[in-house]
Chains A and B, each alone.
Chain A
């Protein structure tokens, strides 16, 4: 049986990817951030999952404004890297797992989550920056990936509660797959940030820390946070944090916090990282 063994919460700030791609990780601005991710990287190297389900949002790269799916799963064999306006990131193409991805779609739709199916899809920093943070710069990614894109660009994003319940349905779908696979699930984006208008640069450390605490201690409370609270308290783009609730929902009732890291800033964002093992 396939099993979700752990969850990773992490920011996916594009500037982090640019720092790695351009060899700037040893600059004083970036040193604390990459040092803070070392334990997670080590954990990942030891954990060696077979598959990663990465919940992320596309930033107007795979999808333009013609069609805006709320939830979309990538079912391709391989996913190319998007040119976001400055050339594609120099990272390997991402290997998919079409059989398992298609199984997820089938199971989720029957569980009343209306998933958009993507048989071709370009991936942007929302997915590749978390991979870089957890696996570094390999020639080839050591894991197969199922991209799960969530609309957080056009208001409203799906609610935290909806995301949390989607996570629960993902757990059920994975566990109904016969092959013995060790699966990790990523919730990406956030933490507090606003990247538009005169209020850009907003950071709310208290909100972020309470969110990290809640992931382990009281996810039901987090699932009830309404969209306005994310936007008002932690910045218009902090709504991305609902994607972390998909990850948390997929881990079951009890988790063990293995590691946590919090850092301000990366460009305009507060960076958070948490590793939770399902127990």
Chain B
């Protein structure tokens, strides 16, 4: 079973949360959703692995949560809006999480944004960048 490559898969540095990724990430995202409740946030922080075992996600997904591997989580089907709840549970901001995904210190990320943000030039296509 396969389908032809979607046009958006050529966008560099991006994991579009499409139907297939959403399917893979369902239990992971439901875990993230559960962090809306303060009692769940507490329970999770007290014993992360134990809490994660309540959700039938893959071991790979659990490991990525524990290690806070943000880009890996996106790849494994987490959606950024839900991932934010994990960052908030850690008392971090969305901006901090974004800087982690980019792989730079937060101050550097803020500096880039204050200078007008990342230009789309050079970031439109994997093919153009020689990544595909």
A interface list, Cβ under 8 A from B: 14-15, 29, 59-61, 64-66, 82-87, 153-156, 192, 194-205, 207, 227-228, 231-234, 236-237, 264-265, 267-268, 270
Contacts and interface: CB of A to CB of B under 8 A. Distances in A.
Contacts of A195: 80, 94, 98
12 contacts: A64-B33, A65-B26, A66-B30, A85-B35, A87-B38, A154-B79, A196-B15, A197-B15, A198-B101, A199-B12, A203-B119, A205-B116
Contact of A60 (B13, B71, B82): B82
B8 A234 contact: no
Given A198-B71, A264-B116, A270-B117, 11 more contacts: A64-B29, A87-B38, A196-B101, A197-B74, A200-B13, A203-B119, A264-B117, A265-B117, A267-B113, A268-B94, A268-B98
Contact of A199 (B11, B33, B38, B84): B11
Interface stretch (B17-25, B45-53, B61-69): B17-25
B94 A65 contact: no
Nearest to B89: A85
B16 A231 contact: yes
The 6 closest A-B pairs by CB, nearest first: A203-B117, A199-B13, A85-B88, A198-B13, A196-B80, A265-B113
Contacts, number: 151
A186 to B, nearest CB: 20
Contacts of A60: 29, 32-33, 79, 81-82, 85
Nearest to B75: A197
A236 B120 CA distance: 12
Given A14-B94, A59-B81, A84-B36, A154 B17 contact: yes
A60 B86 CA distance: 13
A264 B117 CA distance: 8
